[in-house]
Structure 1
Amino acid sequence: MSLSMTGYGQSVIDFQGYSVSFEVKSVNHRYCEVVFRMPREWTCFEDSFRRAVQSRIGRGRVDVFINREHSGDNADAVLNHARVKAYLQAAEELKAYGIEGSLTAKDILSLPDILVSPRGSLPMDDNGQEAWEKALLGGLNEALDGLLQMRSREGAFLAADIEHRLERIEALHREMTELAPTVPEEYRKRLRQRIEALDDGSLAVDEHIFGMEVALFAERSNVDEELTRLRSHLEQSRKLLHHEGPVGRKLDFLIQEMNREVNTIGSKANHLTLVNRVVEMKAELEKIREQAANVE
């Protein structure tokens, strides 16, 4: 089933005195690009987080936001004296730039990492890091579940719209297949009518040359190969929409190929109705291209 590259998921976990929230957003991108925004001491887990995301998402730009707050029951939170001193020193240094003012207790308490909890701080021993990594990966995967559900719903809508437009192109293809063989005969009739209209009795029409002219036109305007390839591309596009895994690049390639075949038909077919069908087909292909740009 086709997946959209647009999605959103979130989750919250409580672990060792902290409430950790996860937000995962994804948008269109040519490759799989993952960007993390999280507390600095958790950057040691970035590689495992990245592998977790890339194992479940094949394509798109994915932004992962991880934030932490002390849980409401974290009564043993104490001041981070080193951080308080650093903020106060920074405020004092700002005065050298002409910035006046002082920090109140309320201001200081609202700053990041002012309150810490002995049981809530990230342990630096191997066992503690392993416990945090496992807990954080669980929260990340829960957020990814929500993201993939939205991508699946969006992908179903995209696939339905693309299939509808493929049906329209197939209907146009059938019309073009029926019209193509009649083009040389219509040209022969028009050419005969023109010669007869110009003939004042002094023209000697060589039927052999006349037949060669019609045959050359039939060869130049023959679009059987293009129509055959176009039908094959349409069938492959339908199969891709129901294929598991990333299909966006393959679908984009097939759309380019279909556009190429349609352009060739338009340049070769010296027939008004065929040219009109080509214009309609190109319009539908452009709409499919816009939708396929969001397929994983």
Structure 2
Amino acid sequence: MISSMTGFATRRGQAVGHLWTWEIRSVNGKGLDLRLRVPDWIEGLEPALRAELGRAIQRGSVSLSLKVAAEGGAEGLRVNVSTLQAVLRGMAEVEAAARGTGVALAPATAADVLGLRGVLEQGAGQEDTAPLRAALLEDLPDLLTSFAAMRRSEGEALERLIRAQLDRIEALTADAATEAEARRATASVTLRENLARLLGASDGLDETRVAQELAMLAVKQDVTEEIDRLRAHVSAARALLDDRAPVGRRLDFLVQEFMREANTLCSKAQSMALTRLGLDLKTVIDQMREQIQNVE
């Protein structure tokens, strides 16, 4: 069963005099990209969260936010002095640069400054944040369970689409094999007719050499290997879909091989029917590639 890289989950909790709200969401990505917005006054929380997320999630661009408030509302609010000083220095630099270019800026109010992220913190008055950190880490697995369940649900829908596309590729490959076999019979007749025409129209041609050249041309137009590899790729893709481990990277590589064979089939086609089947294959493979890019 595959999982999607797209997912979302939220959870609320309460312990050790605090209330909190988790929110986690993810979209597709080439690797694992973690973006956390968590209270920095809870010592050791962010690295612990990163470690847990890294064990639970293999791929995706993942955003986790956590809001923590002391029970009773505004109790425990304080100004982060270092952040405030950094903000004020930045504001001074911006104002100086604006004056230098003749631009007038509207004055900022205290409410504007306090509204900036990190200036006003809640709960930071608690000296020992270890109990709160422990409570949050204990609550995290339930959030990740809900998150994984949604990604699996999305993955089930992806798997159905991909399996249907594999069935379509298999059917088109079978049609291409039938068309190639029919073309082989007519190609043999055509080559013999061309050989006879060349020999009849020209003096001094080496009959053996001409026959060899025509035979090499026939070999170059043969698509048996491409059809065999397409069939093998279909079997390999189905086996990957049955794998319980994350297979998104391997499927992404495999779909490139699918497209390579379809391109070669088109270049060797030499018939409208086979060209049309090759183009249909490329269309389905490209659609499948779009789905596979969301697989973890």
Shift of 1:20: 0.8
Contact 2:6 2:25 in 1 (8 A): yes
Change (3 A) 1:224 1:15: same
| Aligned counterparts of 1:31 and 1:201: Cα–Cα separation in 2 | 64
Contact 2:43 2:133 in 1 (8 A): no
Contact 1:24 1:63 in 2 (8 A): yes
Letter in 1 for 2:59: R
Change (3 A) 1:206 1:101: closer
Matched, 1:34 2:45: no
Counterpart for residue 269 of structure 1: 269
SS of 1:40's partner is coil
| Aligned counterparts of 2:79 and 2:276: Cα–Cα separation in 1 | 77
Contact 2:31 2:59 in 1 (8 A): yes
Shift of 1:181: 2.8
| Aligned counterparts of 1:273 and 1:24: Cα–Cα separation in 2 | 50
| Aligned counterparts of 1:181 and 1:254: Cα–Cα separation in 2 | 26
Counterpart for residue 223 of structure 2: 223
Change (3 A) 1:184 1:122: same
What is the identity percentage for the equivalent residue pairs of Structure 1 and Structure 2? 30
Change (3 A) 1:196 1:230: same
SS of 2:44's partner is helix
| Aligned counterparts of 1:209 and 1:179: Cα–Cα separation in 2 | 29
Shift of 1:204: 11
| Aligned counterparts of 1:215 and 1:79: Cα–Cα separation in 2 | 86
| Aligned counterparts of 1:209 and 1:182: Cα–Cα separation in 2 | 27
The CA RMSD measured in Å over matched residues stands at: 3.7
Change (3 A) 1:81 1:29: closer
Structure 1 stretch displaced more, 275-284 or 34-43: 34-43
Shift of 1:231: 1.2
Matched, 1:161 2:124: no
Change (3 A) 1:78 1:244: closer
Change (3 A) 1:232 1:196: closer
| Aligned counterparts of 2:265 and 2:108: Cα–Cα separation in 1 | 75
Q: Deviations over 1:99-140 (max 9, x none)?
A: 668769xx99999887967xx85443xxx51x2222111232
Change (3 A) 1:16 1:101: same
Letter in 1 for 2:224: D
Change (3 A) 1:143 1:197: same
Letter in 2 for 1:230: L
| Aligned counterparts of 1:202 and 1:109: Cα–Cα separation in 2 | 94
Change (3 A) 1:153 1:14: same
Matched, 1:136 2:136: yes
Contact 1:12 1:139 in 2 (8 A): no
Contact 1:10 1:144 in 2 (8 A): no
Counterpart for residue 232 of structure 2: 232
Unaligned runs of 5+ in 2: 97-104
| Aligned counterparts of 1:266 and 1:227: Cα–Cα separation in 2 | 12
Change (3 A) 1:189 1:27: same
The 5 A counterparts of 1:20-169 are 20-42=20-42, 44-71=44-71, 73=72, 77=75, 80=78, 121-124=125-128, 129=130, 131-169=131-169
Counterpart for residue 255 of structure 2: 255
| Aligned counterparts of 1:108 and 1:81: Cα–Cα separation in 2 | 11
Letter in 2 for 1:137: L
Letter in 2 for 1:170: E
TM-score by length of 2: 0.79
Change (3 A) 1:172 1:22: same
Aligned residues: 279
